[in-house]
Amino acid sequence: MGQSKNIEIKAKCNDLEIIRRILIKSNADFKGLDHQIDTYFFVKNGRLKLREGNIENNLIHYNRPDNAGPKQSDFTLFKTENNKGIKDVLSKALGVKVIVDKKREIYFINNVKFHLDTVMGLGTFIEIEVIDFNGNASQNDMIKTCNHYLRFFGINENDLVESSYSDLILD
Protein backbone atom coordinates (compact mmCIF):
# COMPACT_ATOMS: atom_id res chain seq x y z
CA MET A 1 0.00 0.00 0.00
CA GLY A 2 1.33 3.41 -0.85
CA GLN A 3 0.39 7.06 -0.87
CA SER A 4 1.04 8.96 -4.07
CA LYS A 5 0.08 12.07 -5.94
CA ASN A 6 -0.61 12.80 -9.54
CA ILE A 7 -1.82 15.64 -11.71
CA GLU A 8 -4.63 14.59 -14.00
CA ILE A 9 -7.18 15.77 -16.49
CA LYS A 10 -10.23 14.15 -18.01
CA ALA A 11 -11.78 15.24 -21.30
CA LYS A 12 -14.59 14.15 -23.56
CA CYS A 13 -13.18 12.61 -26.72
CA ASN A 14 -15.44 11.86 -29.66
CA ASP A 15 -12.69 10.10 -31.64
CA LEU A 16 -10.45 7.83 -29.56
CA GLU A 17 -8.87 6.50 -32.77
CA ILE A 18 -7.06 9.81 -33.37
CA ILE A 19 -5.57 9.74 -29.85
CA ARG A 20 -4.72 6.04 -30.22
CA ARG A 21 -2.80 6.74 -33.46
CA ILE A 22 -0.87 9.60 -31.85
CA LEU A 23 0.07 7.39 -28.89
CA ILE A 24 1.22 4.56 -31.16
CA LYS A 25 3.30 6.98 -33.31
CA SER A 26 4.84 8.29 -30.07
CA ASN A 27 5.92 4.73 -29.11
CA ALA A 28 3.69 4.71 -26.05
CA ASP A 29 3.82 1.47 -24.07
CA PHE A 30 0.41 -0.20 -24.46
CA LYS A 31 -0.45 -2.11 -21.28
CA GLY A 32 -3.71 -3.56 -22.56
CA LEU A 33 -7.47 -3.24 -22.57
CA ASP A 34 -8.99 -3.47 -19.12
CA HIS A 35 -12.70 -3.98 -18.47
CA GLN A 36 -13.10 -2.20 -15.14
CA ILE A 37 -15.97 -2.19 -12.70
CA ASP A 38 -15.48 0.60 -10.15
CA THR A 39 -17.73 0.37 -7.09
CA TYR A 40 -17.87 3.62 -5.11
CA PHE A 41 -18.80 3.53 -1.44
CA PHE A 42 -20.27 6.18 0.84
CA VAL A 43 -17.48 7.83 2.86
CA LYS A 44 -17.14 11.05 4.88
CA ASN A 45 -13.95 12.26 3.21
CA GLY A 46 -12.87 12.01 -0.43
CA ARG A 47 -13.84 9.02 -2.54
CA LEU A 48 -13.39 5.30 -1.95
CA LYS A 49 -13.65 2.85 -4.83
CA LEU A 50 -12.95 -0.79 -5.43
CA ARG A 51 -11.64 -1.38 -8.95
CA GLU A 52 -12.21 -4.83 -10.44
CA GLY A 53 -10.49 -5.44 -13.76
CA ASN A 54 -8.50 -7.94 -15.73
CA ILE A 55 -5.37 -5.72 -15.41
CA GLU A 56 -5.94 -3.43 -12.42
CA ASN A 57 -7.50 -4.55 -9.13
CA ASN A 58 -7.22 -1.99 -6.36
CA LEU A 59 -8.94 -0.41 -3.42
CA ILE A 60 -8.37 3.33 -3.83
CA HIS A 61 -9.11 6.27 -1.56
CA TYR A 62 -8.53 9.70 -3.08
CA ASN A 63 -9.11 13.41 -2.67
CA ARG A 64 -9.31 15.59 -5.74
CA PRO A 65 -10.91 18.95 -6.41
CA ASP A 66 -13.66 19.17 -9.02
CA ASN A 67 -12.34 21.59 -11.63
CA ALA A 68 -11.86 21.31 -15.37
CA GLY A 69 -8.10 21.84 -15.70
CA PRO A 70 -5.12 19.87 -14.43
CA LYS A 71 -5.72 19.01 -10.79
CA GLN A 72 -3.78 17.22 -8.09
CA SER A 73 -5.13 13.96 -6.77
CA ASP A 74 -3.78 12.58 -3.50
CA PHE A 75 -4.49 8.90 -3.24
CA THR A 76 -3.81 5.75 -1.30
CA LEU A 77 -3.88 2.52 -3.27
CA PHE A 78 -4.07 -1.06 -2.01
CA LYS A 79 -3.66 -3.87 -4.56
CA THR A 80 -6.40 -6.44 -4.07
CA GLU A 81 -6.90 -10.07 -5.04
CA ASN A 82 -10.13 -11.28 -3.44
CA ASN A 83 -12.37 -8.47 -4.62
CA LYS A 84 -15.58 -10.35 -3.88
CA GLY A 85 -14.79 -10.62 -0.16
CA ILE A 86 -13.66 -7.00 0.12
CA LYS A 87 -16.65 -5.81 -1.91
CA ASP A 88 -19.09 -7.67 0.33
CA VAL A 89 -17.56 -6.23 3.51
CA LEU A 90 -17.42 -2.65 2.20
CA SER A 91 -20.93 -2.85 0.71
CA LYS A 92 -22.41 -3.99 4.02
CA ALA A 93 -20.38 -1.57 6.14
CA LEU A 94 -20.53 1.59 4.01
CA GLY A 95 -23.19 1.10 1.33
CA VAL A 96 -22.71 1.32 -2.43
CA LYS A 97 -22.95 4.86 -3.82
CA VAL A 98 -22.59 4.11 -7.55
CA ILE A 99 -21.01 1.63 -9.98
CA VAL A 100 -19.00 2.71 -13.03
CA ASP A 101 -18.56 0.17 -15.85
CA LYS A 102 -15.90 1.05 -18.42
CA LYS A 103 -13.52 -0.35 -20.98
CA ARG A 104 -10.09 1.29 -20.62
CA GLU A 105 -7.06 1.18 -22.90
CA ILE A 106 -3.95 1.89 -20.84
CA TYR A 107 -0.79 3.49 -22.29
CA PHE A 108 2.38 4.92 -20.73
CA ILE A 109 5.01 7.38 -21.89
CA ASN A 110 7.58 7.65 -19.10
CA ASN A 111 5.69 8.75 -15.97
CA VAL A 112 2.55 9.74 -17.88
CA LYS A 113 -0.38 7.33 -17.99
CA PHE A 114 -3.06 7.68 -20.66
CA HIS A 115 -6.52 6.15 -20.42
CA LEU A 116 -8.79 5.87 -23.45
CA ASP A 117 -12.12 5.17 -21.79
CA THR A 118 -15.48 4.02 -23.04
CA VAL A 119 -17.84 4.47 -20.08
CA MET A 120 -21.23 2.78 -20.12
CA GLY A 121 -23.95 5.42 -20.18
CA LEU A 122 -21.53 8.36 -20.58
CA GLY A 123 -19.50 7.97 -23.79
CA THR A 124 -15.79 8.19 -24.61
CA PHE A 125 -13.07 10.09 -22.75
CA ILE A 126 -9.33 10.53 -22.45
CA GLU A 127 -7.58 10.80 -19.10
CA ILE A 128 -4.01 11.99 -18.71
CA GLU A 129 -2.25 11.29 -15.40
CA VAL A 130 1.22 12.64 -14.66
CA ILE A 131 2.40 10.39 -11.83
CA ASP A 132 4.99 11.22 -9.19
CA PHE A 133 6.37 7.70 -8.65
CA ASN A 134 9.24 8.63 -6.33
CA GLY A 135 8.05 11.85 -4.66
CA ASN A 136 10.60 14.07 -6.42
CA ALA A 137 8.45 15.81 -9.03
CA SER A 138 7.27 19.36 -8.37
CA GLN A 139 3.60 20.12 -8.77
CA ASN A 140 4.49 22.88 -11.25
CA ASP A 141 6.49 20.50 -13.47
CA MET A 142 3.69 17.94 -13.36
CA ILE A 143 1.12 20.58 -14.41
CA LYS A 144 3.43 21.68 -17.26
CA THR A 145 3.65 18.07 -18.48
CA CYS A 146 -0.12 17.67 -18.30
CA ASN A 147 -0.64 20.92 -20.24
CA HIS A 148 1.92 19.77 -22.83
CA TYR A 149 -0.15 16.66 -23.57
CA LEU A 150 -3.37 18.69 -23.71
CA ARG A 151 -1.81 20.74 -26.52
CA PHE A 152 -0.11 17.68 -28.07
CA PHE A 153 -3.47 15.92 -28.51
CA GLY A 154 -5.29 19.13 -29.45
CA ILE A 155 -7.76 18.78 -26.59
CA ASN A 156 -10.19 21.69 -26.49
CA GLU A 157 -10.72 23.37 -23.11
CA ASN A 158 -14.48 23.05 -23.64
CA ASP A 159 -14.07 19.26 -23.59
CA LEU A 160 -12.41 19.18 -20.15
CA VAL A 161 -14.49 17.43 -17.50
CA GLU A 162 -14.57 18.58 -13.88
CA SER A 163 -16.14 15.56 -12.22
CA SER A 164 -15.36 11.91 -11.75
CA TYR A 165 -17.28 9.33 -13.78
CA SER A 166 -19.14 8.44 -10.60
CA ASP A 167 -20.40 12.02 -10.22
CA LEU A 168 -21.36 12.21 -13.89
CA ILE A 169 -23.41 9.02 -13.58
CA LEU A 170 -25.09 10.28 -10.39
CA ASP A 171 -26.00 13.56 -12.12
Range 35-64 average pLDDT: 94
- The confidence band for 72, taking pLDDT boundaries of 50, 70 and 90, is confident
Q: What is the pLDDT of residue 158?
A: 94
Point out which residues pair with 163 in neighbouring strands. Answer: none
Contacts of residue 89, Cβ cutoff 8 Å, sequence gap at least 6: none
Which of residues 137 and 119 earns the better pLDDT score? 119
Res. 9: pLDDT tops 90: yes
Q: How far apart are the first and last CA of the chain?
A: 32
Pair 33, 104: CB distance under 8 Å: yes
Q: What is the pLDDT of residue 57?
A: 94
Q: What is the pLDDT of residue 1?
A: 53
Res. 3: pLDDT tops 90: no
Range 19-24 average pLDDT: 97
Give the CA distances from residue 136 to residues 4, 5, 21, 107, 113, in Å, rounded to whole numbers and listed in that order.
Answer: 11, 11, 31, 22, 17
Range 52-64 average pLDDT: 92
Give tens-digit pLDDT for 133-154.
777 888 899 999 999 999 999 9
Nearest-angstrom CA–CA distance, 146 and 83:
32
Range 60-84 average pLDDT: 82
Give the CA distances from residue 104 to residues 34, 51, 72, in Å, rounded to whole numbers and listed in that order.
Answer: 5, 12, 21
- The confidence band for 114, taking pLDDT boundaries of 50, 70 and 90, is very high
Q: What is the pLDDT of residue 2?
A: 59
Range 123-130 average pLDDT: 96
Res. 67: pLDDT tops 90: no
Nearest-angstrom CA–CA distance, 15 and 38:
24
In angstroms, what is the C-alpha Rg of the chain?
Answer: 16
